[in-house]
Amino acid sequence: MVMTVFPGHHGLSSEPSRDIPDISLVKIVSILMEHKWKIIFTGMLFLLGGYFYAGSQPRIYQADTLIQIEGRRTTLGLLETLAVGDQGGNPTTAELEILQSRMVIGETVDRLDLAIQIEPRRLPFAGDFLVNHGFTRDQVDRLTPGILAGWLGSLGGGHQQDGSPYVWAGESLQVTRFDVPSQAEGRTHVLRVGEEGQYVLKRGEVPVLTGRVGETVHDEASGYRLFVSQLEAHPGAEFMIRRVSQLDAISQLQRRLTIQSRGKDSGVYQVMLSGQDREQIVRVLDTITGVFLSQNVQRQSEEAEKQLAFLEEQIPQVNVELTEAENALNDYRAERDSVDLTFETQNLLRSLVAVDNQLSELALAEAELAERFRPTHPNYQALLRKRSQLQAEKLQLEASVNDLPETQQEVLRLTRDTQVNQQIYVQLLNKRQEMRLVRAGTVGNVRILDAAVLQRGSIAPRVGLLTLGSALMGVLLAIVGVMLRLAFNRAVETPEQLEAIGLPVYAIVPVSSGQHKLSHFLRRRRKEGVNIFRGLLAITDPEEPTVEALRGLRTSLYFAMLESGNNRLMITGASPEAGKSFIAANLAVVCAQAGQRVLLIDADMRKGHLHHAFQQAGKGGLSELLTTQIGIDEAIRPSGIDNLDFLARGMVPPNPSELLMQQPFHDLLDWAAPHYDLVILDTPPVMAVTDAAIVGKHAGSCLMVARYGVNPPKELEITKRRLEHAGVRVRGAVLNAVAYSTNRQYGYYNVYAYR
């Protein structure tokens, strides 16, 4: 790999400091690709969570039936001609409202006693998931032997000696009757299964009833009555049972009922009911449609009864009037010797009879409308307008009758009365017979086309959809997290950011997987841990691109240090974990491999850990040398690498800064200068302590290590200014721990956590 090296003679850039790097589409894609495993892991985690959540939800099933609602036929055909638009109301809509009314639903609740609600006790957290996947008690016992079984029993409140209280797949309870006192309505009771079909009903911790399956048990004093029709569960299993009010049971059932039209104006509707009990919802839906059909027939019969009573009252009166009219006509003909009507008179007679018949029908229709609508209703008003028109027409006909001879007028009048009463009488008799048939019949305007049938599979939860949605949500959240981190990232990412604050970049050191294998986390006693590395990458894997980048740095430093006052190079950083020790140690190795005699000094007497890289002890090093406990020959050790010697940090002293300011440290550097071609000093972070500023005064060159994605440009700028105020010239920087992205542009990297 060819590394980009920025020579040390680069000057300050006129470009302003940028804390936030530019964000482009290419960079976003690159960042997402670099975090792909995190995104995939988050998606998988959410996928498993979504599957567990969906698998823990109760299974909801649905049954449906098909009904037909026909338009209600009015008893008098004249009403249909008088109807104005939909002002008479939509009978189909009314029937649908009746279907969902408390009258129908309430009777269903009472018939099936749906106010009794039973809920099995499940294992916390995973119980519903296991039951939904068919786990029986025997399977759970095989999967949870020993300690785990005891733990499951302990969760049941101390009943493990009688069996687990949790209900598993294949276990059920059916209660046909459960009466409670008014103050206990809506409260949860616990039914605990005993041996051989026995059970105990408790309210809280107080036993209320004790009984056996198939027997009614009651307590007259407390008002409790219970009949358990079926019980299939192991001893110790517990069911939560309560009786809610009828109104609550009706409301719950209404929310589960859905009605959909099967075609515009077809009158055919699909009625659907959802619930957890597959057998119960079919039974409930059949009961609802049965109750609805029964009340519809009953209502039709009651209406026919009312109209029949009205007809029974009118028929005798019309019969009397018909008899009187016939007698009067016969008497008059006898007096006048059988007078016949002329052709003109007969036409007037037919017209008058027709008008009178229509007026009679309107009178009957008005009697029916008066029971259904107010006089201001449009249909009622239409009837009144029709009657006014007929009365006006009747007056005109009667005026024509007045122009006839007196004998013709009288015969016409008597004949008209007879014919009108006769037609009305016949009409009433026919209507009475029709109403008798309706009253005796069992067919209303509602038909059940299909009986209730359970649909295949469950309608909720949609496990696949929820699982996929959860996975997509996890991926989306991971992407948003990466994007937010990118948007709010203030860390250095490009060499241009370092040059903008006056730090020429001498080398870009890529991240190394080999170095990660050498890294370890060392936890110190009573102190925070520190990341160390055992071994040197330049030795274990010299062909690594990271090592090649350090060779490029060695070349750049060779020319840069020609202008320095001495052969001492200080490696420092702004904050911990920048990788300065890694750079110092491996740079010393590649320089020694080039034939230079190199001395590597661990000047971090507080937390220095370079001795681990050489797999040596930390004591007997710089701190002991500066306190004159040992001599130079004893302190400086061979590293095991040709041309490279090493000076460890020594024991941690109480005053590292003061030791560095004393004469022994000056003498050490003065001694090393003629004995080595290059002296590399690894110092503590500048922002943490002042040691680096003290050491830097004795070094001819100073390099600052900036870690990609960790050190903000502002922090590096402050560090540079602090060193310069102390009289230390920062020659340049090394951009460390960068990773080339898929677009292979050096500016886009990711953090790799080696130490």
Contact indicator for 716, 629 with CB cutoff of 8 Å: no
CB pairs under 8 A, 24+ apart, for 632-640? 632/668, 632/671, 636/599, 639/600, 639/614, 640/614
pLDDT, position 137? 86
The SS3 of residue 205 is coil
Element (H, E) at 600: strand 598-602
**Could you tell me if 639 and 678 are in contact, meaning their C-beta atoms sit under 8 angstroms apart?**
no
Which pTM does this prediction carry?
0.66
- Helical packing angle, 278-335 and 406-440, nearest 10°: 160
Residue appearing with tokens 């007997």: 620
Q: Where are the alpha helices (DSSP H) in 459-579?
A: 463-487, 495-500, 513-518, 537-540, 545-560
Q: What's the confidence (pLDDT) of residue 428?
A: 81
Q: How far apart are CA 346 and CA 177, in angstroms?
A: 77
Low-confidence ranges of the chain (pLDDT < 70): 1-23, 72-90, 144-162, 336-344, 403, 438, 441-443, 520-530, 740-755
In this prediction, residue 338 carries a pLDDT of 56
Burial-class residue 650 by CB neighbours within 10 Å (0-12, 13-18, 19+).
Answer: buried
Closest to 307 in 3D by CA, of 444, 441, 436, 446: 436
Tokens for 132? 């939904």
**According to the model, what pLDDT value does residue 521 have?**
64
What average pLDDT does the structure give for the chain? 84
Residue 370: per-residue pLDDT: 78
Cα Dmax for the chain:
170
Question: Is-contact 713 498, C-beta < 8 A?
Answer: yes
> For position 80, what pLDDT does the model report?
53
As a whole number of angstroms, the distance between CA 4 and CA 10 comes to: 14
Give the count of beta carbons closer than 10 Å to the beta carbon of residue 405: 10
DSSP tag of 458 = -
Q: How far is Cα 324 from Cα 57, in angstroms, rounded to an integer?
A: 81
Q: What is the 3-state secondary structure (H, E, C) of 102-122?
A: HHHHHHHHHHHCCCEEEEECC
**Ramachandran bin of 250, using left for φ above 0, alpha for ψ from -120 to 50, beta for the remaining angles:** alpha
What is the structure's pLDDT at 755? 31
**Domain boundaries, given as residue ranges, for the chain:** 36-57+461-485, 307-444, 489-738
Q: Which of 323, 266, 121 is nearest to 202 (CA)?
A: 121
What is the C-alpha to C-alpha distance for residues 394 and 400, in angstroms, rounded to an integer? 10
CA–CA distance from 429 to each of 289, 312, 369 (Å)? 35, 9, 21
Give Rg (Cα) of the chain. 51
What's the confidence (pLDDT) of residue 41?
Answer: 95
State the sign of the Cα–Cα–Cα–Cα dihedral 634, 635, 640, 641. Answer: negative
Instruction: Give 371: exposed, middle or buried? Use CB within 10 Å, 0-12, 13-18, 19+.
Output: exposed
Separation between Cα atoms, residue 19 and residue 42, nearest integer Å: 29
Q: What is the C-alpha separation between 726 and 741, in angstroms, rounded?
A: 39
Query: Is the CB of residue 295 less than 8 Å from the CB of residue 98?
Result: yes
| Amino acid letter for position 694 | I
Residue 453 · residue 279 · CB < 8 Å: no
- As a whole number of angstroms, the distance between CA 387 and CA 370 comes to 15
Alpha carbon 746 to its chain centroid, in Å, reads 41
What residues pair up with 678 in beta bridges, in sequence order?
Answer: 598
Q: Are strands 598-602 and 678-682 parallel, antiparallel or unpaired?
A: parallel
Distances from the Cα of 165 to the Cα of 197, 202, 230, 608, angstroms: 16, 14, 18, 60
- Residue 559's contacts (CB-CB under 8 Å, 6 or more residues apart) are 7, 8
Phi, psi of 617 (to 5 degrees): -80, 155
210 vs 172, 241, 451, CA distance in Å? 18, 15, 40
726 class by beta-carbon count within 10 Å (0-12 exposed, 13-18 middle, 19+ buried): middle
Output the CA–CA distances (angstroms, integers) from residue 381 to 73, 378, 393, 482, 547, in the order listed.
Answer: 21, 5, 19, 74, 103
For residue 10, what pLDDT is reported? 40
CB atoms within 10 A of CB 529: 10
Q: Which residues contact 749 (CB under 8 A, 6 or more apart)?
A: 493, 510, 511, 708, 709, 738, 739, 740, 741
Query: HEC string of 320-339?
Result: HHHHHHHHHHHHHHHHCCCC
The gap between the terminal CA atoms of the chain, to the nearest Å, is: 22
The SS3 assignment for 165 reads: coil
DSSP track, 651-718: S--S-HHHHHHSHHHHHHHHHHHHH-SEEEEE---TTT-SHHHHHHTT-SEEEEEEETTTS-HHHHHH
Is 3.60.110.10 the CATH number for 489-738?
no
Asked whether 193 and 236 are in contact (CB, 8 A), the reply is: yes
Closest alpha carbon to 395 in 362, 351, 357, 434: 351
Give the type of residue at 174.
Q
CA torsion 124-125-128-134 (nearest 10°) is: -100
Contacts of 69 (CB under 8 A, 6+ apart): 91, 92, 95, 96, 267, 269, 445, 446
Report residue 157 as tokens.
Answer: 């409140």
